[in-house]
């Protein structure tokens, strides 16, 4: 089964090439789709200099958010399995290997990488707490039975992600996908993954307001959709 990796990127000039090297080295057949979301630092220049036929790069003119970039990427995927990769260095692409192993089992359509199940350095307490609360809400509202709802490492069979109609623009990609996948009745399997958190000074872009948007997104798709 071929993997499609979607990398949404916004102003990650310090890490984009390093993460790309790590992605390329994972011994799995894959295509790589980078979606630049109107970066204003050197990211676009760096991407324009990449000469590698295996990498498809989409340049959006305006910054619209991570969700809109992922949706652009989803329009062009050709693989059987899709995974999202951030353009920073918080996650380790080698963790896909165990995710795919699970994915190859019969009736497994969705696998999340859980930072909570892995033994990891904790991120700042508030980020950690926010993640736990979002998982709890997903478990209560959708009987999701997961430990890490906002993880970036969400892996889906193509027909699963294609079967849901995404509306997100920003970071609410995660709760929207979790909500709609569960509403369709798919089980979310988890495997432990490693996590090397960065802080806001190091470029983290997610903020407190995104937490509230995520909570609202989970509630909205449960009761008002
Ligand atoms: N396309 C797009 N990607 C973004 C935007 N903001 C953040 N990202 C990307 O989303 C990923 C996650 O951002 P980060 O701040 O580390 O939040 P995290 O979800 O907590 O890891 C990184 O690869 C960012 O470059 C945005 O406005 N548009
Ligand atoms: Mg990140």
Residue 64's contacts (CB-CB under 8 Å, 6 or more residues apart) are: 37, 38, 169, 170
CA of 196 to the centre of ligand 2 (A): 9
70-81 pLDDT, tens digit each: 999 999 999 999
155-168 pLDDT, tens digit each: 999 999 999 999 99
pLDDT score, position 212: 98
12 lines ligand 1 (CB under 6 A): yes
Question: Exposed, middle or buried: residue 209 (CB in 10 Å: 0-12, 13-18, 19+)?
Answer: exposed
> Domain 3-223: what homologous superfamily?
Spore Coat Polysaccharide Biosynthesis Protein SpsA; Chain A (3.90.550.10)
CA of 71 to the centre of ligand 2 (A): 18
8 lines ligand 1 (CB under 6 A): yes
- What CA–CA distance (Å, rounded) separates 213 from 221? 12
Closest residue by Cα to atom 9, ligand 1, is 9
Q: Residue ranges of the domains in the chain?
A: 3-223
Closest residue by Cα to atom 17, ligand 1, is 206
């Amino acid at each position: 089964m071929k993997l499609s990796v979607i990398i949404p990127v916004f102003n990650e000039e310090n890490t984009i090439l390093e993460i790309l090297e790590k992605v390329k080295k994972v011994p799995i057949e894959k295509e790589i789709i980078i979606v630049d979301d109107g970066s204003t630092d050197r990211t676009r220049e760096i991407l324009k200099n990449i000469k590698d036929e295996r990498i498809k790069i989409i340049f959006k003119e305006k910054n619209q958010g991570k969700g809109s970039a992922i949706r652009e990427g989803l329009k062009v995927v050709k693989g059987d399995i899709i995974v999202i990769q951030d353009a920073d260095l918080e996650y380790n692409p080698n963790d896909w290997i165990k995710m795919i192993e699970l994915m190859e089992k019969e009736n497994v359509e969705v696998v999340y990488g859980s930072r909570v199940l892995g033994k990891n350095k904790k991120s700042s307490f508030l980020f950690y707490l926010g993640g736990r609360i979002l998982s709890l809400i997903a478990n209560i509202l959708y009987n999701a039975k997961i430990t890490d709802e906002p993880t970036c490492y969400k892996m889906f069979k193509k027909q699963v992600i294609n079967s849901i109609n995404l509306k997100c623009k920003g970071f609410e990609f995660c709760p929207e996908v979790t909500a709609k996948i569960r509403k369709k009745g798919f089980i979310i399997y988890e495997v432990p993954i490693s996590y090397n958190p960065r802080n806001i000074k190091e470029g983290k872009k997610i903020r407190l307001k995104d937490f509230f948007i995520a909570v609202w997104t989970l509630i909205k798709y449960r009761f008002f959709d």
